[in-house]
Amino acid sequence: MVGTNLTNIVEFILLGFSDLPNFEGFLFGIFLMIYMSILIGNGLIILVTKVSRSLHTPMYFFLGNFSFLEICYTSVTLPTMLTNLWTHDRSISFLACAIQLCFLLILGGAECLLLAVMAYDRYVAICKPLYYPFIMNHQVCVQLVIGSWTTGIPVMIGQTYQVFSLPFCDSSKLNHVFCDIPPLLKLACSDTSVIELSVYVVAALFVMIPFILIIRSYVKIITTIWKLPSNMGKYKAFSTCSSHIIVVIFFFGSATITYSRPKSDSSGETDKILSLFYTIVTPMFNPIIYSLRNKDVIDSLKHLLQVKW
């Protein structure tokens, strides 16, 4: 029966913003500008962290990798959304949908782990400054980045296989802007409780555990900062962490709400809005948050632009 259903469903229809036909041209322009800003903003951070010698530190090494991850993460969904809005062809093949979901989960898991690594880096820098060069040496930094990128690959491939092994009903209309687990589960004909449980387990491993580690790191960081004698020292120490905290709140807040709710409680419109937060809003604001609140990045950008000019 599963095989029959899978052969019947050869493509899905991403409804996206089809309920707003008069605004699709406007939305295309908005999303195109957002995508260009993500590419340019994160691209500049990657460039400046590579070129500027003053930024050849673990913190900016992680930031450069995070910006590259944001570009990849956004490129999984936004080009498809732009194509659908421009051509009004909302179909996506079964295989393309599975590949999109798989990469979305892999890169999303990598982002959670990398944010936890960045919090650990700030913890060591502030709480153990004398040991920082030894603990966060280049080899360790490379290993942490590789681990963040690769740890979730087998798990997320298995999660994708589970979802697309379900028997789907006759309807192939996904009330979403891209292929994601909640709208796909709504189309399943069989009981999805086991899949939902596995989603909660994976979310706990790759969302909640990194988030708890981040909170734990910042509790220790804040405790250490509070003990500093001068207000200037407190401000300087906290300013290096504030940008990261803002990004963590944006990303983990929307992702946790989306994947922690049961299928029966999820709303298509709410899922769309939340998904836009963790796939578009965070990557768009990442360069702004890190550049506007970081004097070293601003100075390096100014120097780079002057040299190029």
Read off the pLDDT of each residue in 228-242 and give the average, rounded to a whole number: 67
Q: Please give the pLDDT value at position 6.
A: 44
Q: Quick: pLDDT tens for 1-55.
A: 344 444 467 788 888 777 777 777 888 999 999 999 999 989 988 988 888 888 8
154's tokens? 């087998």
Judge whether 66 and 297 are in contact, CB under 8 Å: no
* CA–CA gap between residue 160 and residue 149 (Å, rounded): 17
Judge whether 258 and 182 are in contact, CB under 8 Å: yes
Residues facing 123 on adjacent strands? none
Read off the pLDDT of each residue in 237-260 and give the average, rounded to a whole number: 72
Q: Quick: pLDDT tens for 261-276.
A: 555 555 567 777 777 8
More confident residue, 303 or 66: 66
Q: Please give the pLDDT value at position 298.
A: 77
Provide, rounded to the nearest whole percent, the portion of the chain with pLDDT above 90.
32
Which domains are seen in the chain, by residue range? 2-308 (1.20.1070.10)
| Confidence band for 258, pLDDT divided at 50, 70 and 90 | low
Provide, rounded to the nearest whole percent, the portion of the chain with pLDDT above 70.
85
| Confidence band for 239, pLDDT divided at 50, 70 and 90 | low
* CA–CA gap between residue 198 and residue 307 (Å, rounded): 52
Q: Quick: pLDDT tens for 55-112.
A: 888 988 999 999 999 999 999 999 988 988 888 888 888 899 999 999 999 999 999 9
* CA–CA gap between residue 211 and residue 223 (Å, rounded): 18
From residue 177, alpha-carbon distances to 90, 97, 119, 125, 269 in Å are 9, 12, 31, 40, 10
CB contact burial 163-188 (16+ within 10 A = b; e otherwise): bbebbbeeebebbbbbbbbbbbbbbb
| Confidence band for 259, pLDDT divided at 50, 70 and 90 | low
Report the mean per-residue pLDDT for the chain. 83
Read off the pLDDT of each residue in 177-202 and give the average, rounded to a whole number: 86
For residue 161, pLDDT beyond 80: yes
Q: Please give the pLDDT value at position 175.
A: 84
HSE-up of 41 (CA within 13 Å, CB side)? 22
Q: Please give the pLDDT value at position 1.
A: 39
Judge whether 76 and 104 are in contact, CB under 8 Å: yes
Sign of CA pseudo-dihedral 20, 25, 31, 35: positive
Read off the pLDDT of each residue in 161-190 and give the average, rounded to a whole number: 85
Nearest to 294 by CA among 177, 132, 156, 122: 122
Classify strands 91-93 and 11-14 as parallel, antiparallel or unpaired: antiparallel
Strand ordering across the sheet containing 91-93: 91-93, 11-14, 173-174
More confident residue, 244 or 139: 139
Q: Please give the pLDDT value at position 277.
A: 77
